[in-house]
Chain A
Amino acid sequence: MQQAYRYAVLYFLLFSLLLLGSSLLLFEDKIGLSVTAVLQYYLGNEEKFLVEKSWLTILKIILPHIFAFGLFFMVLLHFILFTKYKKSKQFIKLSYAIFIVGFLELSSPYFIIIGLDFFAYVKLISFILLELLLLYTLWLLLASIYKH
């Protein structure tokens, strides 16, 4: 890869770290990092003045994320194709895992509002797992750039 492109990718990875950091802060501030907090956020809580989320409210939140997740995952993962991992099974597994976990993260609120409280765990675990998988991808790419 040409050196200028390598710099562009390196900075993209740094921006990605900021994006992950801000998403964690946002999740913690708006929803909360516990199962009870997730349930209260979606099902409402009078004491905390939280209104129950409707089907449409959730759709409005996830709509920009559907596009952003797809674009961000694709751009980030396609950089792996420039590394030694491009033909490894690890890359294929990582790609599937990121897209599937991303889908679970986006869709789980709908299962919560129809009464399946168990999906609060799915929401929380998928969010944390997605952050970790993306951090791992960033690590693979940073290590590759550093080696060159």
Chain B
Amino acid sequence: MRFTLIKNLKEDMAMKPLLNGLLVFMLLYFIADFFVVNATLGLVSEDIKMTLFGNIDEFIDPMDKSVFLEYLHGQIFFIMMILLTLSTVYARLCSIKRYSIIVINILMISALLSLTTLFISYFYIPNLVGVYIFSFFIWHIIAFIMALHSLWNLNFATSI
């Protein structure tokens, strides 16, 4: 997190390419995650319900409890690490105080909501899958915009 202490990142020849690389990889991750989730869990309500609860008519087994918990456990770890890193980069590069705090709050709350609603959908209320899909899209879109905004400020803003 050394970048949080550097006064002018544009002048720092070592840190700028590192942050550029990190942000480009984050953008790639957010895009790739859409395709992977679409293939494994699904991105529309019917697909997700079929993956989680199976379908007797089509002879599809429901997702095993331990498989679901492993998936959720892995997702929590990845999301927490990537969003912590993105938030600190964003807070440093897009430092309009009030605006950045609101954006970080929406990002984190929607990500937390997506994980908790997926858990509740599987164990208690299947209809919460809709909330999961909504919050999943919200945090992906916001994270993508934050990464783009940070990239723009890193390379084109007059002072950061």
Contact = CB atoms under 8 A, between A and B. Distances in A.
Interface of A: 2-5, 7-9, 11-12, 14-16, 18-19, 22-23, 25-26, 29-30, 68, 71-72, 75
A7 B83 CA distance: 12
Contacts of B84: 8-9, 11-12, 15, 75
A63 B95 CA distance: 38
Given A18-B115, A22-B76, A30 B88 contact: no
B69 A5 contact: no
Given A22-B69, A30-B66, A5 B88 contact: yes
B112 A29 contact: no
Contacts of A12: 80, 83-84
B80 A15 contact: yes
B76 A26 contact: no
Contacts of A7: 87, 101, 104-105, 108
A71 B65 CA distance: 27
A26 B83 contact: no
Majority secondary structure of chain A interface residues (helix, strand, loop or mixed): helix
Contact of B80 (A4, A19, A23, A30): A19
A5 B91 CA distance: 7
- Which of A3, A18, A25: most chain B Cβ within 10 A? A18
B45 interface: no
A11 B79 CA distance: 11
Contacts of A68: 77
Contact of B97 (A3, A14, A29, A71): A3
Contacts of B81: 71, 75
B153 interface: no
A14 B116 CA distance: 11
B76 A18 contact: yes
A14 B83 CA distance: 12
